[in-house]
């Protein structure tokens, strides 16, 4: 019984390590890089920054709302 269990455990470990190794990328494979060649004017950069800021504020408001909902059940007040 123990021999069968040990054999099954070794087989599972061997299969999981082989499956994990299949997803790895070769070290000499070229990695995709973002193009940084495009330059923006001051107005375009300000508009992009405003969009990013607006998205960040939306995410923060959503997170705050969720945290308030969660904390209602935990916090009973001081």
Residue 47 placed within a domain: yes
pTM value > 0.85: no
DSSP-H helix ranges across 23-41: none
Average pLDDT over residues 54-60: 97
Residue 23 has pLDDT above 60, yes or no: no
Domain with 73 in it: 42-78
Taking the alpha carbons of 43, 44, 49, 55 in that order, is the dihedral positive or negative? positive
Residue 35 placed within a domain: no
Residue 62 placed within a domain: yes
Task: Tell me how many domains the chain contains.
Answer: 1
| pLDDT at 10 (0 to 100) | 79
For residue 25, give every residue at least 6 positions away whose Cβ sits within 8 Å of its Cβ, in sequence order, or none. 31
- Helix and strand numbers (H, E) in the chain are 2, 0
């Amino acid at each position: 019984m123990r021999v069968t269990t040990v054999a099954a455990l070794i087989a599972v470990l061997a299969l999981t390590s082989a499956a994990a190794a299949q997803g790895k990328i070769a070290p000499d494979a070229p990695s995709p890089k973002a193009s940084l060649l495009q330059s923006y004017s001051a107005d375009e950069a300000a508009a992009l920054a405003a969009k990013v800021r607006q998205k960040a504020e939306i995410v923060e408001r959503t997170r705050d709302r969720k945290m308030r909902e969660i904390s209602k059940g935990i916090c009973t007040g001081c």
